[in-house]
Structure 1
Amino acid sequence: MRPFDPRLVRELPQTRAPVAALGLLGAAAGVAAIGQAFAIAWLVTALVGGGSLWAPAVTVATILAVRGILSATTEVTATWAGARVAGVLRERILGRWSRATADDRPAPERMLTISTHGASSVEPYVARYLPALVAAAVVPPLAIVTLLVVDWSSALIVVATVPLLPVFAALIGRHTQEATQRRWATQTRLAGHFLDVMRGLPTLVSYGRAEKQADQVAAVGDRHRIATVRTLKIAFLSSAALELLATISVAIVAVWTGMRLAWGNLDLQVALTAILLAPEAYWPIRRVGQEFHAAADGAEAIDALLADVPPACFAGRESMSVRDLSYRYPGANVDVLQGISYAVRPGLTVVTGPSGCGKTTLLELLAGLRTPTAGAAEVPRTHLVTQTPFVLPATVADNLALGTGASPAQIAAACAATGLDRVIAGLPDGTATLLGDNGFGLSAGQRARLGLTRAMLSDAAVVLLDEPTAHLDPASARQVRSVIRDLARTRPVVAVTHDPELAALADAQWPLTERVPA
């Protein structure tokens, strides 16, 4: 793990201001700490010597007030910076994943872990670790230089012992990184298992296997808990080791300074200043070691969130054709599609074939969601309506306007064409009705109408439909077929279907056959 990943500010300009603000505050706090050592030594010397306390007392109070203000400002800025950087990273990776093909995206459980737990763990990295890192880069050198001017022999002790802290911190950090990676792997497995269980929960309940899966989730959770506790143990032990090392080093300076003060070889103010400056040379490095464990998750997450994801490539053409197109799922032994060549003409093209022959996969290839194993696909910008259209946990109006930029009049016309207006009329609050996850509040057929309405509002050059009439009653299916025919008069429409009536309306048919492994 690198102390600071420069890609954070190089690739994300939005993070430069928060990181720069934390750096400036850290440097200012370091200067104030050095000034405090001189002010307190001045005050104690004046008190012991019987001199006037007014000037040193005001100086100490002023510096303490400045340090308090800087500390409060740093806390507020760190909180803002952590939320800002985490939000920018999350937005960046989600945007890249949404534009990448299914083959280039990570597994769903890894995407879930990175975008939730990973992005959240960036906040303590930015809010606590980066300020400590800045202080460690500024304060120790400043304290040592000041000590050289004040008392060079005490400075030599600090120079000889300070390097021990980063050496020990680096040795402990390597072990911490290994523990963190193991915990991340456990977290990813837990997320994947939980995701699979939630997807198959209705089936598990119907077969009476839900309680067994609950036990499995609990077992994986226990493994995650054990890995977390193991990491915490390392954190506590390493913090204690660094604390002990720093305490012994400061004690050496204090003893050496005290001995020379007792021998009469050192002025009281110089001795006090040296004793007060010595801890400032160790404390920032010690804090970096302490915060390293909290930041290890953040550093791991930043590396994953900044990973390059190849974007989906669109040719930007108005026509659509494929030449010798083949596709094989990762880990499969046979191509699900092989050597397909076809040119999509204006109008309605229906893709037919038995279940499992790769019709849905073909649509995903045409939409740019998958990368062909071989061959080439020349496609314009498309709008894909899947069998389970994506529905936001938001209002019906928000879902209709998603990615379209259509006016209210255009939305109303599209709803009337697909029959969605009758569905909206039956909802409690009309278009203001709030939908739940996966379109909870709408039936499967109503979600299909919603997806088809969005396709009508889209300005994509080609519309791709996957089983558009599969979840509709006969009357609704007839209306949807009519809508599809009208849509095909304005742009090419490619529809995968088992509906013979929709196939009969097609201008062209694209038959696929099932491939059987040899």
Structure 2
Amino acid sequence: MPAIDPRLLRYARTTRVFLTLSVLIGVGQAVVILTQAWLLASIITDAFLHGAGLSDLSGRLTLLTITLVTRALLAWVAEVTAHHCSAAVKSELRMRLLHKVVQLGPRWLTGERSGELTTLATRGIDALDDYFSRYLPQLVLVCFVPLVVAGRMFAADWLSASIVVVTLPLIPAFMILVGLTTKQLTARQWAALQLLAHHFLDVLAGLGTLKAFGRSRAQLGTIERLADKQRKATLSSLRIAFLSSLVLELLATLSVALVAVSVGLRLVDGRLDLQTALLVLILAPEAYLPLRLLGAHYHASAEGLGAAEQVFSVLDHDVPDQGTASVRADRTIELDQVVVAGNDREGAALDGLSLTIPAGKVTGILGPSGCGKSTLLAVLLGFIRPDSGQVVVNGIDLATVELAGWRSQIAWMSQDPVLFAGTVFENIRLGRPYADDLAVRRAGQAARVDVPLEKVIGERGNGLSSGQRRRIALARALLLDAPLLLLDEPTEGVDPETEQDLLGTLPAAFAGRTVVLVTHRTALLSLCDQVVELAPAEVAA
């Protein structure tokens, strides 16, 4: 990744404001450095050679004090600005990343991507702190201070300025060489961190199952091994950082020493006056300081740069063109020769499926596991765009419809419903956050939720049975009161008695809605006005 990736300016507009402020602060610091050097050289020369007293130097001493305070103030402003902009950029990138993931949809967010993105959206983006608060401000100073200082030195003593001009490029040259190695180590470190985070999240998600089968302790060894791998990768990166800092410090010190030797010899020889010699000696370290600090801060920001590269790889993903048309969901839906190509990651796919879903009716989708029932719902939700064929709603192709407006009219219960830590009541209310308490309780009753609504549950419904989780998710979908209701296996894991109770309450909840009911249990078919059976022959091989 380059020092300032153009994509950072495109995706995080706050960066432009930050760079503008950094340039202004950098120019101010360069002017202050020149003023400070001139004042120090002038004061020391007059005090030691011309015997100037405190009263003679009071004006310049006051100005020097103001200069020192101004330099400290500019450094403070630069740091505060960097931290504020860093927070704004991180927030902007995180929002863009999450928005992009939503646009790409569940079909893209499969396999290991969830763990990777969790790490990327948290630890990864947070690692940009050092990049903005340290590296980027220093990079701006490198563009101004060495050039301004070298120019002033050239006006005072061309020989010393020539030494600086010749030796200055050595530091970025070594930084580039070290950076090539650091890039590989940082990539290895980030990959180890992602692997550890992904495995750790998997263990947490399946901890209940592991405990039930007595295999929870067996994962300790795996986590320890992955943590040790990440530790070694981090230490390897730090080792290079420390060694490269030593090389940069040595180069800068030797370069300043060359200038000092040249100035000292000519000063003794009488070919250089004291004030010029002092001015050059004071300015020489200032020419190398930004580059030295840049090299040190580069390693602190390397992890953030690697994470930003992965963020941009997600943001650069192409998203199918979004439609702008609007259509009501309480209209007849027609699927005409819909084909969805499948692969190993995305599961079952549809091959030339045609059917009509009448408005205000209950359509049952029956078939064995893996025949494409959930894929059909994903097509209706707009998560998957058919490879061929079309979905038509009231004469309008779904591909031309604005999806946010379309989805706002749909209540969807997925095959693996997600529940959050909190009360059962709060989880149901997520379907319609502003619903009154009575509506929430009625939805719970319609879905035959047999858990007290005030009961506190864990993440993903920890502490509940599979059937209880599904009924809470069903209640949440019913609460939304949307005209189009998509239910994926709503009675899976539900005992026969409760299923019979649901057969008595769901007709009233379905009244006036278009319902697509996916199931492989025949008991629910009594609620359907039509049943469409997806056979294995309709699934792409």
| TM-score computed with the length of structure 1 as normaliser | 0.88
One-letter code of the match for 1:330? N
Structure 2 residue corresponding to 1:416, chosen from 424, 442, 445: 442
Which residue in the other structure is 2:121 paired with? 115
Q: Are 1:265 and 2:293 an aligned pair?
A: no
- How many angstroms does 1:504 deviate by? 0.6
For the residues of structure 2 that align with 1:501 and 1:334, how far apart are their CA atoms? 26
Which residue in the other structure is 1:438 paired with? 460
Equivalent positions of 1:202-221 (< 5 A) are 202-221=208-227
Q: Are 1:74 and 2:78 an aligned pair?
A: yes
SS in 2 for 1:510: strand
Structure 1 residue corresponding to 2:133, chosen from 118, 127, 135: 127
For the residues of structure 1 that align with 2:446 and 2:525, how far apart are their CA atoms? 23
For the residues of structure 2 that align with 1:438 and 1:152, how far apart are their CA atoms? 71
- How many angstroms does 1:149 deviate by? 2.0
Which residue in the other structure is 2:473 paired with? 451
Which residue in the other structure is 1:345 paired with? 358
Which residue in the other structure is 1:180 paired with? 186
Structure 1 residue corresponding to 2:58, chosen from 54, 61, 80: 54
- How many angstroms does 1:370 deviate by? 3.6
For the residues of structure 2 that align with 1:475 and 1:297, how far apart are their CA atoms? 56
Which residue in the other structure is 1:38 paired with? 38
- How many angstroms does 1:74 deviate by? 2.3
Which residue in the other structure is 2:335 paired with? 322
SS in 2 for 1:271: helix
Mean Cα deviation higher: 105-114 or 289-298? 105-114
Equivalent positions of 1:369-408 (< 5 A) are 369-372=383-386, 374-378=388-392, 379=398, 380-381=406-407, 382-393=410-421, 399=427, 402=430, 404=432, 407-408=434-435
Structure 2 residue corresponding to 1:233, chosen from 226, 239, 242: 239
Equivalent positions of 1:235-254 (< 5 A) are 235-254=241-260
Which residue in the other structure is 2:402 paired with? none
SS in 1 for 2:355: strand
For the residues of structure 2 that align with 1:448 and 1:325, how far apart are their CA atoms? 29
- How many angstroms does 1:35 deviate by? 2.2
Which residue in the other structure is 2:100 paired with? 96
Are the equivalent residues in 1 in contact too, given 2:447–2:502 (CA < 8 A)? no
Which residue in the other structure is 2:311 paired with? 305
- How many angstroms does 1:484 deviate by? 4.3
Are the equivalent residues in 2 in contact too, given 1:388–1:447 (CA < 8 A)? no
For the residues of structure 2 that align with 1:436 and 1:159, how far apart are their CA atoms? 64
For each residue in 1:400-443, what CA deviation from the matched residue of structure 2 results, as whole angstroms up to 9, or x when unmatched?
Answer: 56474x6444x63254144289979945xx5xx87642245766
SS in 2 for 1:469: coil
One-letter code of the match for 1:32? V
One-letter code of the match for 1:5? D
Are the equivalent residues in 2 in contact too, given 1:97–1:309 (CA < 8 A)? no
- How many angstroms does 1:231 deviate by? 0.6
For the residues of structure 1 that align with 2:298 and 2:363, how far apart are their CA atoms? 58
SS in 2 for 1:468: coil
SS in 2 for 1:143: helix
SS in 1 for 2:71: helix
- How many angstroms does 1:333 deviate by? 11
* Alpha-carbon distance change, 247 to 179 in structure 1, aligned in 2, over 3 angstroms: same
For the residues of structure 1 that align with 2:273 and 2:504, how far apart are their CA atoms? 98
- How many angstroms does 1:241 deviate by? 0.8
* Alpha-carbon distance change, 461 to 141 in structure 1, aligned in 2, over 3 angstroms: farther
For the residues of structure 2 that align with 1:488 and 1:422, how far apart are their CA atoms? 15
Are the equivalent residues in 1 in contact too, given 2:256–2:284 (CA < 8 A)? yes
For the residues of structure 2 that align with 1:401 and 1:165, how far apart are their CA atoms? 60
Are the equivalent residues in 2 in contact too, given 1:419–1:479 (CA < 8 A)? no
For the residues of structure 2 that align with 1:350 and 1:414, how far apart are their CA atoms? 26
Which residue in the other structure is 2:172 paired with? 166
- How many angstroms does 1:133 deviate by? 0.8
Are the equivalent residues in 2 in contact too, given 1:348–1:492 (CA < 8 A)? yes
For each residue in 1:378-405, what CA deviation from the matched residue of structure 2 results, as whole angstroms up to 9, or x when unmatched?
Answer: 544343212443334466676556474x
For the residues of structure 2 that align with 1:333 and 1:435, how far apart are their CA atoms? 31
- How many angstroms does 1:332 deviate by? 6.5
For each residue in 1:249-274, what CA deviation from the matched residue of structure 2 results, as whole angstroms up to 9, or x when unmatched?
Answer: 11111111111111112221111111
Q: Are 1:495 and 2:514 an aligned pair?
A: no
* Alpha-carbon distance change, 373 to 263 in structure 1, aligned in 2, over 3 angstroms: same
For the residues of structure 2 that align with 1:130 and 1:373, how far apart are their CA atoms? 45
Q: Are 1:9 and 2:9 an aligned pair?
A: yes
- How many angstroms does 1:212 deviate by? 2.3
One-letter code of the match for 2:24? L
Are the equivalent residues in 2 in contact too, given 1:417–1:483 (CA < 8 A)? no
For the residues of structure 1 that align with 2:345 and 2:76, how far apart are their CA atoms? 57
For the residues of structure 1 that align with 2:481 and 2:33, how far apart are their CA atoms? 61
For each residue in 1:466-488, what CA deviation from the matched residue of structure 2 results, as whole angstroms up to 9, or x when unmatched?
Answer: 12233556676456555643454
For the residues of structure 1 that align with 2:528 and 2:509, how far apart are their CA atoms? 12
- How many angstroms does 1:277 deviate by? 1.1
Are the equivalent residues in 1 in contact too, given 2:428–2:440 (CA < 8 A)? no
SS in 2 for 1:148: helix
Mean Cα deviation higher: 30-39 or 276-285? 30-39
For each residue in 1:19-67, what CA deviation from the matched residue of structure 2 results, as whole angstroms up to 9, or x when unmatched?
Answer: 4334433333333223222222223223313212312221221111112
- How many angstroms does 1:508 deviate by? 1.6
Are the equivalent residues in 1 in contact too, given 2:446–2:505 (CA < 8 A)? no
Are the equivalent residues in 1 in contact too, given 2:443–2:476 (CA < 8 A)? no
Q: Percent same amino acid at aligned positions?
A: 37
One-letter code of the match for 2:137? P
Which residue in the other structure is 1:21 paired with? 21
For the residues of structure 2 that align with 1:490 and 1:19, how far apart are their CA atoms? 57
Which residue in the other structure is 2:403 paired with? none
For each residue in 1:87-128, what CA deviation from the matched residue of structure 2 results, as whole angstroms up to 9, or x when unmatched?
Answer: 221121012112312343472222122112211111111111
For the residues of structure 2 that align with 1:203 and 1:451, how far apart are their CA atoms? 21
Aligned residues: 512
Are the equivalent residues in 1 in contact too, given 2:341–2:540 (CA < 8 A)? no
For the residues of structure 2 that align with 1:293 and 1:16, how far apart are their CA atoms? 23
